[in-house]
A = this chain, B = another copy of it.
Amino acid sequence: MMDQITQPVLVVDEVRCRANIRMMLGKARDFGARLRPHFKTHQSLETGRWFREEGVDAIAVSSVSMARFFAADGWRDIMIAFPVNFREMEEINRLAGVTDLGLVVSCQHSAAMLPGKMSTPADVYLKIDVGSHRTGFDPDRPEELRLALDRLAEDAHLRIRGFIAHAGHTYQSDNRQQLLEVFSAGRQALLGLRESFSSVHAGLMVSWGDTPSCWLSDDLANLDELRPGNFVYFDTMQLDLGVCTRDELAVTVAAPVVALHPEREEVVVYAGAVHLSKEQGMGKNGKAHFGRVVFYDAQGRILWPGQDLFVERLSQEHGIIRMPREMIMDLRPGDLLGIVPVHSCLAADLLRETYVVRAGP
């Protein structure tokens, strides 16, 4: 089992992933929404197949390359939930011929450029900025949205499907209540737009992304589609935000110990910025860190230490862990430690190969 691991690798617990998928799928069905999970989190054919086996048939991705990758594995309903990249129109057209492809337009300049670029029909969604201010149309300037819709409607190859939003700012919430308020206000804005444009464009739907809202809210009513991604794996960020429990957490990075420095209470592992990413978390002590440290049993089950342990510093391949001297005395170079990444999507992107365990809760 874990003995086979020689280098940093993403350890994925299939039992927990499938439980997370079933939970989210059940919730979507309860509210009559379609689950279109965001596959940018895992970028893994195997994890993708677990979704398929649980009944998912539509997905979101965040690049044309990812769309190609999953289309080649048989996925036939793929939304590229990223503003259309006009430098890839040739590949976008090719993909639209082999899968039901969804494109996203997030500013009026792109809306003006897209008509005439597709030789094959594709779905088009307008991205609405519900407050994260990353990109998208401002819901308080509906005249721009109207103009964009009118322009896109000129091209019969562009099937206008509706509005999508990603409330990335839920991640800045201090607590669950605040998080749910962010969700509630954003959904209200999205539903308001659907209402006000329904007379001009019939059948517009609304699609909502972000794991914290979808996982925590008890009320997902009136949304046609849910696009969370992170929930399949979760990570330190979600744990610390109170979104998931330790039993729902499904990934760690296995890190070989390469040096012991008990005299300064530090352990060096082979797992650096090129494995964990430099995404920073914040400990309760107000110190930035690059992941929580756990132990494994022989089957890869996570064993939580009795106290918080963090990766304090990172170089390209080195991770520096702060650990009490007496715990270090039990370690040897070559042992494996587990690191719960701060942001699992970035760790999964860096560690494309996954090592699957079946530990369960």
Interface residues of A (CB under 8 A from B): 5-7, 40, 62-65, 82-88, 91, 106-107, 109-110, 113, 133-135, 138, 168, 256, 258-261, 263-264, 266, 268, 270, 273-274, 277-280, 313, 315-318, 320, 332-334, 336, 345-346, 349-350
Q: How far is the CA of A277 from the CA of B258 in the complex (A)?
A: 24
What chain B residues lie within 8 Å of A268 (beta carbons)? Answer: 83, 106-107, 134-135
Interface centre among A40, A261, A264, by most B CB within 10 Å? A261
Q: Let me know if A7 and B88 touch, CB within 8 A.
A: yes
Smallest distance from the beta carbon of A344 to chain B beta carbons, Å?
A: 11
Q: Which of B63, B86, B113, B334 contacts A317 (CB 8 A)?
A: B63
Given contacts A7-B64, A109-B259, A316-B345, list 20 more A-B pairs with CB under 8 A.
A5-B87, A7-B88, A40-B316, A62-B317, A63-B270, A83-B258, A85-B256, A85-B270, A86-B258, A86-B334, A106-B258, A106-B259, A107-B259, A107-B268, A113-B332, A134-B268, A273-B279, A278-B278, A278-B346, A316-B349
What chain B residues lie within 8 Å of A345 (beta carbons)? Answer: 316
Q: How far is the CA of A266 from the CA of B280 in the complex (A)?
A: 24
Q: Let me know if A135 and B261 touch, CB within 8 A.
A: yes
Q: How far is the CA of A74 from the CA of B71 in the complex (A)?
A: 38
How many copies of this chain are found per oligomer? 2
Smallest distance from the beta carbon of A262 to chain B beta carbons, Å?
A: 9
| Contact A113 B278, CB 8 Å, known A83-B259, A345-B316 | no
In the complex, 16 of the A-B residue pairs with CB atoms within 8 angstroms, ordered by the A residue number, are A6-B85, A6-B88, A7-B65, A40-B316, A62-B316, A82-B317, A86-B256, A86-B333, A107-B259, A107-B333, A109-B260, A133-B264, A134-B318, A273-B277, A274-B349, A350-B350
What chain B residues lie within 8 Å of A280 (beta carbons)? Answer: 278
Q: How far is the CA of A264 from the CA of B334 in the complex (A)?
A: 51
Q: Which chain B residue has the least Cβ–Cβ distance from A268? A: B135
Interface centre among A65, A135, A264, A349, by most B CB within 10 Å? A135
Q: Which of B40, B315, B333, B336 contacts A109 (CB 8 A)?
A: B333
Q: Which chain B residue has the least Cβ–Cβ distance from A107? A: B259
8 closest Cβ contacts across the A-B interface? A86-B334, A83-B258, A6-B87, A278-B278, A107-B259, A135-B259, A135-B268, A83-B259
Q: Let me know if A333 and B273 touch, CB within 8 A.
A: no
